[in-house]
Chains A and B, each alone.
Chain A
Amino acid sequence: MSIQTTIRPYVRRPQFKPNDFLISQKPNEVRYLPSTLVPIEIVGDISPNRIDFHFKYSGLESPHVRKFPKEGVEITVGKYTNKVLGISLSFEPTYADLISSVDLGVTAVKKARAFLVKDSVQKSYDLIVDFLSQAKKDFGTNAKNALEDMFERHTPDASADAA
């Protein structure tokens, strides 16, 4: 079975409310997240043992060479702002492992957030955590059947039958 047939695209264009961008508010001062730190589109490539999420922003930025590998989770960040440009999750080719890898991704993003100094970038990471939680929900509802079908077709027995 070729790789192309097993990759399932997952695309989301998040809809935010103005309050999602609020960092802090005082009587004469309000601070918001700038549009350059808000993901406008998220594309996920799902294969039987890996998910690659790519986060698109209104401003481009080179990826940082350093990543945060943790239990099969790799976070690629921007060179200058540290915003999340991509998350790769590796897992055993089962539906249950896929779901738990998303949880590990959330944990890794939260840990990476703790090392950040700037409130705006921290807020951007919060949006990424929200997105991963939404993706987990989608994998458990709308996309569940398609994903289970993908794993079934990927098992060695199924491959042998197909051959």
Chain B
Amino acid sequence: MSKKQKALLALQIACGVLLAVLPFVDQARINRYTDDDIRKHLYTFVLRYNLYLAVICGGLVAFAPALKDIFYPREKNKQVREKIMETMMEELFGGQRQNVRITIFKDAGVFVHSWIYLRLLAANIRAGRKWLPPRGKYVYVKERLGTEFSRSKTFFYYSPATRKKCHGVAGIVRQSLEVMILKNLPDIEGIDLRTLNMANKRSPDVRAVQDYIDQSYLRDFESLKRIHSPARHFYGSILQNNESPKGVLVIDSVQNDCPFEDPLVLKRLSYYSSLFTPTM
């Protein structure tokens, strides 16, 4: 039983107990307690708002099973996705979680899209930029396996119309509906991006970072700064549910050798991508 399910069960029990107690709370019972007894205040509150409490508790008890039905399939799908990612990590990459990272990006819905847009808008205002963030679509990290940044809030922009404006492997793959492998990108692991002055074009670090941005389709320095660990090799594949494309599987590696060149690995990755279909 997940934490959400346990919380829901506890809430259901509490509401049930309150509903059972309500008919027995009357003025005579309240008068038994002195003013400094907390039970007097509690029973007074229950007696005063008994109608509202009965409606709220009754509603919660009635709708809790429906809430379980909403949360349970999502939880189950998440568990299946995590299991698939773990199996991939073990079978294809020898469990090297320090070097390989598996991420599932999902299309941002209305709420996530609004949150991302507001976040970008706030960043623009802070930086004194006068333009609005792009109004296209976004994919965001849904699940991740392989690093300490499993709860990453990384997102990428994609334009449904053209790949030229899409950001990152995830954005490009989501727009173009294809499988993409990027390999041997510049190694910028040792460069401190927070202190790097991109205006100094002659600096070797700046040139390496610019090459990385160009080759990885990140488009701008801000997008690169949002990434925790810049990888050297990427594999991206479109994921779809039983109706339409819904996200992107991205695997990145910081190893010196690209792990996606073996045709057998590619075949297995294609197979694993298809396993995500019912869970998206």
Contact = CB atoms under 8 A, between A and B. Distances in A.
Is the A/B pair a real complex? yes
Interface of A: 18, 21, 23, 28-37, 58-62, 79-81, 117-121
Contacts of A61: 240, 243-244
A35 B277 CA distance: 11
The B interface, classified by DSSP as helix, strand, loop or mixed, is mixed
Interface in B72-130: none
B53 interface: no
B245 interface: yes
Contact of B183 (A23, A28, A37, A62): A28
Interface string B139-167: 00000000000000000000001100000
Contact of B177 (A18, A29, A30, A120): A120
B200 interface: no
A27 to B, nearest CB: 8
A138 B177 CA distance: 32
A28 B182 contact: yes
A28 B215 contact: yes
A36 B238 contact: yes
B183 A34 contact: no
A62 B181 contact: no
7 contacts: A28-B184, A31-B178, A32-B179, A36-B177, A59-B274, A118-B177, A119-B178
A162 B274 CA distance: 50
Contacts of A36: 177, 238, 240, 245, 274, 277
- Among B240, B243, B245, the most chain A Cβ lie within 10 Å of the Cβ of B240
Contacts of B183: 28-30
A30 B274 CA distance: 20
Contacts of B182: 28-29
B77 to A, nearest CB: 16
A114 B65 CA distance: 52
Given A58-B274, A60-B242, A79-B244, A34 B184 contact: no
A31 B179 contact: yes
B176 interface: yes
Contacts of A119: 176, 178
A118 B274 contact: no
* 3 cross-chain pairs, A with B, having the tightest CB-CB distances, nearest first: A80-B244, A120-B178, A32-B179
A34 B244 contact: no
B253 interface: no
B178 A32 contact: yes
A30 B245 contact: no
Interface string B170-204: 00000111111111110000000000000000000
A29 B263 CA distance: 15
Given A79-B244, A80-B244, A34 B181 contact: no
A62 B240 CA distance: 13
B242 A31 contact: no
A124 B178 CA distance: 11
Contacts of A30: 180-181, 183
B37 to A, nearest CB: 64
Contacts of B273: 34-35
B180 A31 contact: yes
Contacts of B175: 118
A121 B178 CA distance: 9
